[in-house]
Amino acid sequence: MLRLLAAGAAGPLVVPAQPRKPNLLMILVDDMGWADPGFNGRKEWTTPNLDRLAREGTVFDRWYTSMPLCAPSRACLLTGKYTIHNGVRNNATDIPKSETTIAEAVKPLGYTTALIGKWHRGKLPDGSFTHPLDQGFDSTFGYLDARHAWEHFPKQLWRGRESVPVEGYSSDILSDEAAKFIRGHRADPFFLYLAFIEPHFLIEAPAEDVGKFRGRFREKDPAEPYNARYAAMIHRLDAGIGRVLDSLDETGLARDTLIVFSSDNGATFEAGNKGASNYHDSNHPFRGQKRSLEEGGLRMPAVVRWPGRVPSGRRSPEITHMTDVMPSMLAAAGGKPDPAWKVDGRNMLDVWSGKVKAPERTLFWEWQTEGGTMLAAMRGDYKYLDIGGNKFLYNVRTDPGERRSLIGEYPEIMKQLEAETTAWLATAVTK
């Protein structure tokens, strides 16, 4: 309580102290599969800091990315809008400058905003690109370009619009920068978007970490132990996340910070991954991968922690879509989306806190890029999937591996979801 002496009053005037607004920390990793963290059952390596986050928060078993591809998934996260509404439908496209990001939404509410890590720059129709400093971020440090973000031992990163020399391993560099940011902004609320590049390829890690796992796994070529390196990447990433959590403890900000942890899309089996995610079955128990609308591409490892507000040590079956993060973080900051932004996501704070169930709604996904066409829609446990004209219907609660199509048993559900998908596609906006 703040006590002021009121003019002409016999005693001090008691003015209630304004409650502190929570800090907002979004930790996004790159191409991490459902089965990669320990809190989802991984035994071949440990992730003690992610497991700590899970113990102190709620793990969401049905947390879905917006698209299983780097740039679109990030754009949906930041804008709270589907790909067909924010204009980012492939990796070559940038966020239109007309879109409102989480950073732009919370700045008027008194927040300092920062991006540390991967931006994934594309191009706008006029050939220009969007810089995060133009989208509400007060400061940035990390990778702008997708190919640059393959480098786990970078020689330079971007601080704002300036290229600066760096040395070390990527998750160490970014974690230390994040911890420094947190220590320097303990007085006022902040939004920190911490976007790591692990375990996305290149598959490389510090030698001392690789040595901890060398010989544990079968390797195609022992001289190139990619399976050990993949484990080492996650091991090192987890240690860096631990330093970020420690910085919140040291500054006394842990209870005042809402943390959301997730991955941009499922693990990949592409050539650049060198077979590591395949060997480790990183998307177990799901089918599919990055660039697939099956559960392996869409269903993410995810934790929400906010001490005193989000239950600890809990697993939730409630469905969250990555477009929900923007309006939910904005609500935590004391705001709500302007109707003009036409945000698709929902405020899920009461769902995350365990007070209510997730709203009944149909969620949608599209893949109309790189020469392929896939569509998906999900309502409750039922998921409609169209892969190049081949159509399926699954109950992803009883059949999470999407092995048994139910179109023959529930044609009416399939027709309903198919019709809703067609209507959703008709709302696409040309940017």
Fold of the domain spanning 23-359:
Alkaline Phosphatase, subunit A (3.40.720)
pLDDT band of 6, cuts 50, 70, 90: very low
Per-residue pLDDT of 199-220, as tens digits, reads: 999 999 999 999 999 999 999 9
pLDDT band of 1, cuts 50, 70, 90: very low
Per-residue pLDDT of 321-356, as tens digits, reads: 999 999 999 999 999 999 999 999 999 999 999 999
- Residue 331 CB: number of other CB atoms within 10 A? 16
pLDDT band of 3, cuts 50, 70, 90: very low
| Predicted confidence (pLDDT) at residue 25 exceeds the cutoff of 80 | yes
Could you tell me the pTM of the whole model?
Answer: 0.95
Contact of 327 with 337, CB cutoff 8 Å? yes
Q: What integer pLDDT is reported at residue 5 of this predicted model?
A: 40
Residue with token string 């320097």: 184
Per-residue pLDDT of 114-159, as tens digits, reads: 999 999 887 778 888 889 999 999 999 999 999 999 999 999 999 9
Q: What is the average pLDDT value for the chain, to the nearest integer?
A: 94
pLDDT band of 227, cuts 50, 70, 90: very high
Please give the torsion angle defined by the CA atoms of residues 386, 392, 393 and 395, in that order, rounded to the nearest 10 degrees: -100
pLDDT band of 18, cuts 50, 70, 90: low
Q: Residue 142: which region, alpha, beta or left (left: phi > 0; alpha: psi -120 to 50)?
A: left
What mean pLDDT is predicted for residues 244-262?
98
Q: What integer pLDDT is reported at residue 128 of this predicted model?
A: 84
Percentage of the chain beyond pLDDT 90 is 91
Per-residue pLDDT of 33-55, as tens digits, reads: 999 999 999 999 999 999 999 99
What mean pLDDT is predicted for residues 221-227?
97
| Predicted confidence (pLDDT) at residue 8 exceeds the cutoff of 50 | no
Length of the chain counted residue by residue: 431
* Token pair listed for 91: 């990796």
pLDDT band of 9, cuts 50, 70, 90: very low
Dist CA 118 CA 430 (whole Å): 26
Q: What integer pLDDT is reported at residue 17 of this predicted model?
A: 54
| Predicted confidence (pLDDT) at residue 15 exceeds the cutoff of 50 | no
More confident residue, 25 or 13: 25
3-state helix/strand/coil string of the chain = CEEEECCCCCCEEEECCCCCCCEEEEEEECCCCCCCCHHHCCCCCCCHHHHHHHHCCEEEEEEECCCCCHHHHHHHHHHCCCHHHHCCCCCCECCCCCCCCHHHHHHHHCCEEEEEEEEEECECCCCCCCCHHHHCCCEEEEEEECCHHHCCCCCEEEECCEEEECCCCHHHHHHHHHHHHHHHCCCCCEEEEEECCCCCCCCCCCHHHHHHHCCCCCCCCCCCCHHHHHHHHHHHHHHHHHHHHHHHHHCCCHHHEEEEEEECCCCCCCHHHCCHHHHCCCCCCCCCCCCCCCHHHHEECCEEECCCCCCCCEEEEEEEEHHHHHHHHHHHCCCCCCHHHCCCCCCCHHHHCCCCCCCCCEEEEEECCCCCCEEEEEECCEEEEEECCEEEEEECCCCCCCCCCCCCCCHHHHHHHHHHHHHHHCCCCCC
> Which of these, 149, 239, 145, 242, lies nearest to 200 by C-alpha position?
149
Dist CA 157 CA 176 (whole Å): 14
CATH of region 364-425, choose from 3.10.28.10, 3.30.365.10, 3.30.1120.10, 3.40.1550.20:
3.30.1120.10
> Which of these, 402, 352, 408, 350, lies nearest to 381 by C-alpha position?
402
Give the domain ranges of the chain: 23-359, 364-425
Contact of 27 with 52, CB cutoff 8 Å? no
Residue with token string 């569509």: 375
Strand pairing report for 299-300 and 58-64: antiparallel
Residues 6+ apart with CB under 8 A from 162: none
